Chains A and B, each alone.
Chain A
């Protein structure tokens, strides 16, 4: 009886294991076919409701689009530095076919790891170093900034727009200039005040900065930091703000006029599709409103209809390629000429922008 029972037990166990294995394998019907492994590296938490959150929306869209043909993984809160190289290397070593590294500071680590794994594809966001297996991609956020600048110029009553900046890098400076030029074009009296908080993500400090700006009379807030805290502050103060990276209306249903939304989904779907077709090639892509990478969330009902019409027209003109936010004549802050009449800024100029345009107050930190 004893041995018999043991044998039965073993048999039962074997059946159980076989069932489990079968069940786990049966999940994806594309059994046995090669599945592409797609990996993401994020600088912040996916719950930041800003930058990293939007990239993660891209990952979710990939799962929906390609289903069982791909397998996804991600690592969040990866510091920009030596740790990043270790994380990227590990993803490459563990069989990833394509790795998206989604912050500027991941550039050099990505370049290094890409050199070690020539058969793995790499894509680095907002950087400028490419290789045969390393592509770069970015979005023309300044196009969205032009549209919110127009709205702010029309809607400010105190003629003071508060701007919460992270770090004075070209990306951020270009956004300030774009919004300011647009605002001034519809309101010659408008002034911008920029407060730098030296952080991408610090809700407490972003709130303190918003408070300082509102104390100085700003009645509209713009931000180039990643947390929804400034929008929330604007909501509590009964003033207006623009969401950053992501639709932040839930944090400020009355305050948010619109948000500049980074929609990476079309790009990611295109690139992973190319990987699956075998047509993936390295390159450098800088998409904007036209391709849908930069989008504006639905207009608030608080924006007067004529301003909505103006903003919509500008957005469509940018998409059509008939309007460039940086069209001359534009002088630098010190009065020297930058763009001649009707001349538009080159991408190279934009990506190295380290000056304020004429009319901006305050000194740009070096």
Chain B
């Protein structure tokens, strides 16, 4: 199909052309950037925490009775929980992934680097006892798990006393790029100058804060915090037993000591849902916006092309009378549409990267990877061709006899 005459005819219908071009350009910019954000969020939401999310849950205990002894209660509670049928294991802990709350530290391979931030790797600290790895359901890939003798109790006065730790693979890789982390010493767990020996590496255990850049960098510390009257337990149930087990655990703890509140029992799955709620909402909103933009643009193309077909009925009849096949008429409108969408894509490319630059500056988003633009352009071209199909077919069905009818 001849482009030049179609192009010159389009140039004489600038208002309609501009309408579609601007609409396509804006849609392309919104679609590309929204899709990028949605996929980025989707990846973030879908990444594994490293623990057994389906079988685990946490529950908090806060003693209020005058005779409440947190150390004794923790040990009694853990024994009681581990004895429950359907429990794989249980541990005392400070936090879990997907909660956006926990302890962080800076880990180094040399002492005294705390004041000098170079070489310090940010990491989350998970406290647990010798049952911790099983309770979390993390996979040990190197070294050994904690033993009872590794576990130290601590409070605000004593600080962390542990002398061994387990690293996530990501943290081990960044601290010891050449490998061989097990058996080496790190600093920053107990204090900046006290060495802690790495005894093992787990495949993955994400930090509690889902927005962290170094989300895979965690250190597992064999410690039980004996502070105030608060304790938190992580319980891992046999597959399929979690929901049935949760009320039993709650009752067992309540029965174990009446001078306390047992609260905030929450599965890790629920924690995931809660922590990513905003991301899901944003994905839904952006997804809806994308669909709406595509529908509006598609309808805009259908509307304008239908209007042009109606306005050009006589012209179409004349073209048919002069020898145009039905296919020629159809392809005329398809080519015209492709040209309009092409202009829209050119303008849209500028808008897309302009919009991305604005998002980067104001919302700290990443740079849009280049494949999004050709993919978006292809989507717009397909949308355009689909939208023009109906009006173009209507135009192709115009009878050539229309040419001899008076307007």
Instruction: Please say whether chains A and B are actual partners in one complex.
Output: no
